[in-house]
Homo-oligomer: A and B are copies of this chain.
Amino acid sequence: MNEQINAVLRPKSIAVVGASATPGKIGYTVLENLVKEGYNGVIYPINPTATEILGMKVYKSISDVPGPIDAACITIPAKFVSAAVDECGKKGVKGLIIITSGFSEVGDRALEDEIVAKAHSYNMRILGPNIVGTLSNSDKLNASFAPFLPLEGKASLVTQSGALLIAIDAASFTRRVGFDKLVSIGNAADISISDLVTWLDEDASTSCISLYIEGFKDGRAFIEAGKAASKPIIALKSGVSAHGAAAAASHTGSLAGAAKVYSAAFQQAGVIQASDLNNLFDRTLALSLQPPMRGDNLLVLTNGGGVGVLATDAAERYGLPLKFAPADVQAELKKHMPEFGSAKNPVDMTGMAGLEWYHETTKFAYSHPWVDGLVVLYCETAMTNPMEIAQGILTAVEESGIKDKPITVSFVGGERSDKAMRMLVEKGIPAYPAPDIAVNAMGALREYTHLREMVTEGAVAAPKVDSKTAREVIAKARMEGRGALTEIESKQVFAAYGLPVTTTQLARTEDEAVALAKKIGFPIVMKIVSPDILHKSDAGGVKVNVKDEQAVRDNFRTIMANARAYKADADIHGIAIQEMAPWGTEVILGSVNDPTFGPTMMFGLGGIFVEVLKDVTFRVAPVSAGQAARMLGEIRGAPILAGVRGEAPRDRKALSEVLCLYSNMIFDLADEIAESDANPVLVYEEGKGVKVVDARVILKKKA
């Protein structure tokens, strides 16, 4: 574990720089919180003018402290922080918890950069600045101005909103979702969310990492941290609406939007998403208490048809559609219900079900190998006792001895049901007040398995590429002062990365055009090549299905004349002679250089699918074969690729490979390519491959 981050989150000794004797001041509150919770390390209040606060000896400065200091919690005004960092560094402090605000969040990036550089020069790490602080139940550490430690639990939360930390801290008790650590990350000037994910993954007191994210910079590090983690990670990403978002410049860019790219990145990082704040609590509870669900067979037990039907709907909604249990399972279940009960799925024991039936049915179902996950529902009745039902469920789970299969519970009712659920949660069984939430939580446990399968499916094998040629093409365009490649150049770059582009070569003269056409083979396509003519068709600069030499000659002259007429002073390179690809299913690939995640690719079907339906999907590059195949499957138009209306299936294998190659290209050339697209790409029948018909590369602006 990183020693400095360790010192920040689990310090053995902590100095409070700016400790104050005045209640209401943050320097007082932090000190009081440390004392009040019974922090099990050593506390050193630092204040140049005080001598004793809360009965503790106060040191005039860090250097006066006799023993070693793991962490310094800094609460003094921003302008004094830099000097304090120096003092801490000289003393040998390992980490800084900078609560103080007044840095980059109010525009003072320089000051923030300065303190980070200074801290690093002393080998210190910084949490913050501009944070509430950090809390840890297992260390009785409340190094923050949040009023108390949260309800004890196995999840740990990292939040970019300090206000939410305080609110969640309080809410942990009323919602009965416990945490070991709550960490406010503030401006994340040094220690990042990724650093914390990595650290918490090794923290013995944390079983689930819960994140509230507004946005971060180090997208790639986050993906790597997520992939490497061995504990479930759940993230609520806010700020996904268009309100106030800057208009995007490019086509792919306008389709991307931060929400879609973050979503893709979370998937690639193996991170589960929460849809809203309640969902973050609900899923965190399940992920911190229960093992992942390893198969698709969900069984629902209930005492009421109504909640059973609601759970059935939810199961479909959350990706776990119910199946009927095998006949032998049904036969056994039938034993614990009246004649009018149902042993199908949901298993309806009817309102007559009490402790005994719940106990026996839960025990049998939970132990049966067909069942991969169990949701037990109870609808409060006048005749049965919720606490007894809960006891029945708990005993069944305990007696089964099973530890590797998840169970979630929902009791719909009043105070008696709430108490029973609280007991279950304390015993490690997540319980919720509505059936769909119990199913949603189970969905998260299933999703976790899927995500782990994805992130561990093998690294991306870097294909052999001719990056030298690609970089030469780009260098030449830059030499000529151009910000974009021509179609021919773009295709040269694509081809260098193994992409199957249509053969396209430049003819400067009519004779060259004829020679090239013969070499490529008729019919051919002819297109004007000029950096000054972007809309080639509008300029009369495109002729398709050119079938013989005479037509090549006629068209050469026509296109040239049209181009001159369109723009007299255009810099005309010549005419591209291009292989005419047979028609196939149109798809589009595109790329952007995302500010958080870097080179990110888009895939979709062409035409109306992309233009009208925005039916596209994203991944951070490079992508593995598995991810590429998933991209093909997750667009709404996926059946088109599988073959509809009697058409043969398209060559999805070749297309997946093209996605991988394309992603590898934009990743490898991330320093050069700002945006690119391949549009259209034609996909043929299985075994017949893919052709990139048009290609475009926009270069990164360089300083």
Contact of A640 among B168, B379, B612, B637 (CB under 8 A): B612
From A159, A340, A380, residue with most partner B Cβ within 10 Å: A380
Question: How far is A170 from B381 in the complex, measured between Cα atoms in Å?
Answer: 9
Question: How far is A278 from B275 in the complex, measured between Cα atoms in Å?
Answer: 15
Which residues of chain A in 350-373 are interfacial with respect to chain B, using CB atoms and an 8 Å cutoff? Answer: 351
Chain B nearest Cβ from A64, distance in angstroms: 30
- Copies of this chain held together in the complex: 2
Q: What residues of B have a CB within 8 angstroms of the CB of A434 in the complex?
A: 276-278
Question: How far is A240 from B340 in the complex, measured between Cα atoms in Å?
Answer: 23
Contact of A29 among B174, B382, B415, B436 (CB under 8 A): B382
Whether A170 touches B611, Cβ cut-off 8 Å, given contacts A214-B309, A276-B310, is: no
- Closest B residue, CB atoms, query A161: B306
**Cβ B240 vs Cβ A313 within 8 A:** yes
Q: Which of A314-322, A325-333, A526-534, A569-577 contacts B (4 or more CB under 8 A)?
A: A314-322
Q: What residues of B have a CB within 8 angstroms of the CB of A323 in the complex?
A: 243
Question: How far is A412 from B281 in the complex, measured between Cα atoms in Å?
Answer: 12
**Cβ A380 vs Cβ B166 within 8 A:** yes
Q: What residues of B have a CB within 8 angstroms of the CB of A22 in the complex?
A: none
Chain B nearest Cβ from A620, distance in angstroms: 22
Chain B nearest Cβ from A159, distance in angstroms: 8
**Cβ A303 vs Cβ B613 within 8 A:** no
Question: How far is A322 from B243 in the complex, measured between Cα atoms in Å?
Answer: 7
**A437 CB–B CB distance under 8 Å:** yes
**Cβ B170 vs Cβ A417 within 8 A:** yes
**Cβ A106 vs Cβ B276 within 8 A:** no
Which residues of chain A in 435-456 are interfacial with respect to chain B, using CB atoms and an 8 Å cutoff? Answer: 435-437
Contact of A436 among B173, B277, B608, B639 (CB under 8 A): B277
Residue tally, chain A, CB below 8 Å to B: 77
Which residues of chain A in 481-530 are interfacial with respect to chain B, using CB atoms and an 8 Å cutoff? Answer: none
**Cβ B214 vs Cβ A412 within 8 A:** no
**A123 CB–B CB distance under 8 Å:** no
Whether A243 touches B321, Cβ cut-off 8 Å, given contacts A212-B306, A307-B163, is: yes
**Cβ B382 vs Cβ A312 within 8 A:** no
Chain B nearest Cβ from A646, distance in angstroms: 11
Chain B nearest Cβ from A348, distance in angstroms: 10
**A618 CB–B CB distance under 8 Å:** no
Contact of A412 among B164, B238, B312 (CB under 8 A): B164
**Cβ A239 vs Cβ B312 within 8 A:** yes
- Closest B residue, CB atoms, query A242: B316
Contact of A241 among B238, B321, B608 (CB under 8 A): B321
Contact of A276 among B314, B413, B608 (CB under 8 A): B314
**A416 CB–B CB distance under 8 Å:** yes
Q: What residues of B have a CB within 8 angstroms of the CB of A161 in the complex?
A: 304-307
Q: What residues of B have a CB within 8 angstroms of the CB of A312 in the complex?
A: 239, 241, 243-244
- Closest B residue, CB atoms, query A340: B106
Q: What residues of B have a CB within 8 angstroms of the CB of A168 in the complex?
A: 412
Question: How far is A458 from B91 in the complex, measured between Cα atoms in Å?
Answer: 81
**Cβ B238 vs Cβ A171 within 8 A:** no
Which residues of chain A in 156-180 are interfacial with respect to chain B, using CB atoms and an 8 Å cutoff? Answer: 159-161, 163-164, 166-175
**Cβ A166 vs Cβ B240 within 8 A:** no
Whether A640 touches B382, Cβ cut-off 8 Å, given contacts A171-B413, A239-B312, is: no
Chain B nearest Cβ from A636, distance in angstroms: 6
- Closest B residue, CB atoms, query A172: B414
Q: What residues of B have a CB within 8 angstroms of the CB of A418 in the complex?
A: 174
Whether A315 touches B612, Cβ cut-off 8 Å, given contacts A351-B163, A382-B146, is: no
Whether A242 touches B321, Cβ cut-off 8 Å, given contacts A380-B167, A637-B608, A645-B611, is: yes
Q: What residues of B have a CB within 8 angstroms of the CB of A304 in the complex?
A: 161, 163-164, 167
Question: How far is A242 from B313 in the complex, measured between Cα atoms in Å?
Answer: 8
Whether A170 touches B415, Cβ cut-off 8 Å, given contacts A316-B241, A382-B145, is: yes
Interface string of A51-84 (1 = CB under 8 A from B): 0000000000000000000000000000000000
Q: A166-B380, A170-B416, A241-B312 are in contact. List 19 more A-B contacts (CB 8 A).
A: A145-B382, A160-B306, A161-B306, A163-B379, A164-B307, A167-B412, A167-B413, A170-B380, A171-B380, A172-B414, A174-B418, A238-B306, A238-B313, A241-B316, A241-B322, A242-B321, A278-B436, A612-B639, A612-B640
Pairs across A and B, CB under 8 Å, 27 listed: A106-B340, A161-B305, A163-B303, A163-B307, A163-B381, A166-B381, A166-B413, A167-B307, A167-B412, A169-B414, A170-B415, A171-B380, A171-B412, A171-B413, A171-B433, A173-B415, A174-B414, A212-B306, A238-B309, A239-B312, A241-B312, A241-B322, A243-B322, A276-B436, A277-B412, A277-B435, A277-B436
